[in-house]
Amino acid sequence: SSGINAEWPLRPGEHDGANVNPATLNTVTAATKLGGSVHAIVAGDSCVEAGNNTAKIPGIEKVFVAESPALKGQIAESVVQVLLDIQSKNNYTHILANGTVFGKNILPRMGAKLDVAPISDIIGVESDSTFVRTIYAGNAIQTVESSDPVKLITVRGTAFEASPADGGSAATENVSSDINNDKSEYIEAKLSKSDRPELASANIVISGGRGLKNGENFEMLYELADKMGAAVGASRAAVDAGYVPSDLQVGQTGKMVAPDLYIAVGISGAIQHLAGMKDSKTIVAINKDAEAPIFQVSDIGLVDDLFKAVPEMIAGIEQQ
Amino acid sequence: SSGINAEWPLRPGVKVRVRPDQLGVVTDGVKHSMNPFDENAVEEAVRMKQKKIVKEIIAVSCGPTQSQETIRTALAMGADRGIHVEVPKGTEADLQPLAVAKIFAKLIEKEQPDVVILGKQAIDDDANQTTQLLAGLVDWPQGTMASALEHSDGQLKITREIDGGLEDIKVKLPAIISADLRLNEPRYATLPNIMKAKKKKIEKLSPGDLGVDIAPRLTVKKVVDPPVRQAGDKVPDVATLLDKLKKKKVPTATLR
């Protein structure tokens, strides 16, 4: 049977400890492919509501709710102690976490404690011991087999269908573990505030690159995004240059997205960026350089000055 | 003192080719270089020494003979000495994060550093695990995806890049850190420093010397090319673009 760690909510403004990261729905799908029963674990300093929301996900049979001040910010050193406690009592064969910064931060630390080799960012399940993942920024696809008694896996959300968020009725169980952590302390989060859809799970993503020239110019992408109900992303170059905050970064070392529609504006299309979006259903590229590598993967390409094209798009949509 | 891991993947931008036997990627004759995140790690260590937070920097690389080059680069950037944990050429793809972490755990016992900084992920296997594994093995606090570090009184305040933005945590030393790209701007090694680096010591060890079993836990069954994406058409103007999108029935409330 498998256990999954469900995440802290991502967005400020919603109730803290209430909503679960949408990526969890994709991880649940991956977990159900393994067969056997699926349990979930929600940890934090205030997460009873998150536990209740996790219990609504069909496919989950039980949700452990670990609430303690020591788990504030879900600091890795404390969360892993709780996970180990639950694992020692339940002996899961597979433990999965979202392939997000959160999941990647926690799962390998647990791997060390269990002496198990974690498997990062899977995109496929071939059997209960064989998994598929990408290497070299998605330039090669690797199938690996683990012979460890417990498989520790982080799941790339874009590779699995999201399970429904409602309809299930798992039992919830409070757990109180002994947590001894005097080595680390959570201070605070500085989250980007936005009413737009979650970047990693949005149907439409509009991303800007270095071609935008500055942060102010991203305003027109935000405007276009709001007209289309889209999320806004960015290339690493735009983030490095300080145009937008780091959580917008799409790419090998940022977020992986696979929306129905990805519009790349002023993005040249470096391999590292493609790694983060080439599984999108439809890719549109707008770039004034006809030779930009992005046009090699785009389904629809427009060679044009983005400062002319984007306002035209906004106007064109408004006219509908 | 602080230790850093310098890795030796293929140079970014090099075209990756799957091997005909479908068990890996071609690396023979292909240019390698220090993993970009490890450059950030080395740079941060050098800055910590300049600020007198640490007294000595040890650069570590685990890999075949050629991976010594990354140690030389680290020494030229300002590390004081190096440790090369050598594995036979051709077996480096089998050296997985858990094994590397165990090697580092032994080096920690040997060298007693106060800070260990690694790059957040290697751009070849994209695993993003070694820092967390090592921290778990030695039970030290971890600061992954670090984009800023501030030292005071045996503690580090770490700003981390997380899914929704940034997060600040505080850890007591000794600690393990993984460097993210925006932690700093790595310096170029100057020619005089490259020459000076030739005199700095690199200790050579084997995993056996450290008592570490590096046998891979994950067996690679297959490595294949990803599906190829064909380029589509170009459109002459925005009106045509919007028209095409409407026809594709992209689920959006506004494109009717």
Q: Could you read off the pLDDT of A269-299 as tens digits, one per residue?
A: 999 999 999 999 999 999 999 999 999 999 9
Tell me: the pLDDT tens digits for B97-123? 999 999 999 999 999 999 999 988 877
Contact A116 B217 (CB under 8 A): yes
For residue B212, what is the enclosing H or E element?
Answer: none
pLDDT at site B3: 60
- Report the mean per-residue pLDDT for chain A: 90
| Cα–Cα dist A253/B123, whole Å | 9
Contact B133 A111 (CB under 8 A): yes
| Cα–Cα dist A257/A263, whole Å | 12
Best mutation site among B129, B145, B223 for testing chain A: the one with the most A CBs within 10 Å? Answer: B129
B100, B131 contact by CB (below 8 A): no
A262, A247 contact by CB (below 8 A): no
Best mutation site among A184, A190, A235 for testing chain B: the one with the most B CBs within 10 Å? Answer: A184
- With 70 as the cut, is the pLDDT of residue A15 above it? no
Contact B217 A117 (CB under 8 A): yes
Contact A184 B222 (CB under 8 A): no
Contact B234 A295 (CB under 8 A): yes
Question: What is the value of ipTM here, to two decimals?
Answer: 0.90
Beta bridge partners of B2: B57, B115
Q: Nearest chain B Cα to A144, which residue?
A: B220
Contact A143 B235 (CB under 8 A): no
Of B96, B172, B226, the CB nearest to A141: B226
Backbone angles phi, psi at A88, to 5 degrees: -65, -25
- With 70 as the cut, is the pLDDT of residue A4 above it? no
Report helix, strand or coil for A85: helix
pLDDT at site A216: 97
A104, B161 contact by CB (below 8 A): no
| CA distance, residue B87 to nearest chain A CA (Å) | 19
Of B165, B175, B233, the CB nearest to A191: B165
SS3 content of chain A, % helix, strand, coil (to 5): 30, 30, 40
